[in-house]
Structure 1
């Protein structure tokens, strides 16, 4: 007598294949995430020995002694943005970084929505004297479709820098993409630039943020916005007050 085939045999087999496919996809995704965190695009340490990171509250509170042990030389901490935002972790990270013997910079994210006077007041009120020993950073980005003209940006940025320098008597560091830094090339023309680009910029005496998220060699199990100083150590030390 011919044996009967169980009516649900194919159903079970197809279901098993489907779950096997899903599990394989999840495993591949986990491996990709692991590779992403472990990858190390750091430029040649012999050419660019001075390594640093740019931090904000999304990075959490940091172990700065561990970063220093990983050959990180400097950190830039986000302090303020526009005329009302203050980074939640700024005070904690600043206090802890100050005890690590790292060079410290603080930066403000410039806004197109409010006046430079209001932004300078916010920076002074929230940061106080915690400005570290590196030039005060001003981060610029075209965060909306309608870009301000180069003339408008130059005028408002110059006003902000003037107010900050009147208060702190400290050089500034202009930070952002090559495109926006080109638009303000006449502003504080002797000040260093922090170039956020996956392509190595030309020139020396500037900072190159080579990644928006990657491991520090031998560092914590986290992805960082990492940068190198494009110049000699003596030039870097002259920037630190």
Structure 2
């Protein structure tokens, strides 16, 4: 029922935009689309030149060559979650992105009912170190799972996250990226985990506004994007810098 409602709402929205003479969401790069756009007024995503996606099984089969042709510059691909779940399309997505020449990185979705080191070993079992790839990613946020409703105190959250990061850093030889959300960042003071690239979700405002002028490397600005080659909605992300800065970051990060 929720999916049907979204489709109807999106159709109404697109019709309204078309009637006003503008069918493309303001602030989104013109090569992409958004079925549920935010009304960007300043510091919009399209002020950044480098954009990418993150995907999992929920995007289904992907035509990666079409994705590459649309201007997608990078892709983060879900490998695992918790201590015993592997994404069934990880290998397919990884092979497709690589074949299409899109720099890719693997990510792990963290569950607060298992220890950080245990989850790191599960991630490494499914996404072992690879040369020439984007750094691995720890996706840590509050889960909505009925099997794991646990919400540890901030000190425990950061300690277990650090345990995960230490194990993965030792194996990969590079520091992972940390992905998180506004509420999780604030409640657990995630900025205390210094020295890591941060990937911040902020779909209703620039990270400078929602994260208090903290440094970020990647910005997830919508979860309802549309990209050629992907039938379903997909997360869209911007890199915090120019094309030249992206190439420099990429060269250093993929050693």
| TM-score higher than 0.5 | yes
Structure 2 residue matching 1:185: 3-state secondary structure? helix
- Matched with 1:191 is 196
How many Å separate the matches in 1 of 2:115 and 2:45?
41
Following superposition, the deviation at residue 35 of structure 1 comes to 5.6
Following superposition, the deviation at residue 152 of structure 1 comes to 0.5
> Pairwise CA RMSD of aligned residues?
2.7
Structure 2 gap ranges (5+) = 15-22, 30-43
Is 1:230 matched up with 2:234?
no
Following superposition, the deviation at residue 132 of structure 1 comes to 5.9
Deviations 1:99-152 (A, max 9, x none): 111111110111111112211111111112357621211101112565321100
Structure 1 gap ranges (5+) = 1-27
Is 1:181 matched up with 2:185?
yes
Deviations 1:169-227 (A, max 9, x none): 1221110112323422111x1222111111111256521111111223x6655321111
How many Å separate the matches in 2 of 1:86 and 1:61?
17
Kept after mapping to 2: 8 A contact 1:205/1:235: no
- Matched with 1:214 is 225
Following superposition, the deviation at residue 61 of structure 1 comes to 2.1
- Matched with 2:169 is 165
Following superposition, the deviation at residue 39 of structure 1 comes to 5.9
How many Å separate the matches in 2 of 1:65 and 1:175?
26
Kept after mapping to 2: 8 A contact 1:138/1:175: yes
Kept after mapping to 2: 8 A contact 1:105/1:133: yes
Compared CA separation, residues 105 and 229, structure 1 to 2 (3 A): same
1:1-241 → structure 2 map (5 Å cutoff): 32-34=9-11, 40=25, 42=28, 47-130=47-130, 133-143=133-143, 147-182=151-186, 183-187=189-193, 189-198=194-203, 199-202=205-208, 205-216=216-227, 220-237=230-247, 238-239=249-250, 240-241=253-254
Q: Which runs of 4+ in 1 moved over 3 A?
A: 28-41, 43-46, 129-132, 218-222
- TM-score, normalised via structure 1 length: 0.78
- TM-score, normalised via structure 2 length: 0.74
Following superposition, the deviation at residue 160 of structure 1 comes to 0.8
Deviations 1:61-90 (A, max 9, x none): 211111111111111000011110100000
Compared CA separation, residues 169 and 96, structure 1 to 2 (3 A): same
Following superposition, the deviation at residue 55 of structure 1 comes to 0.3
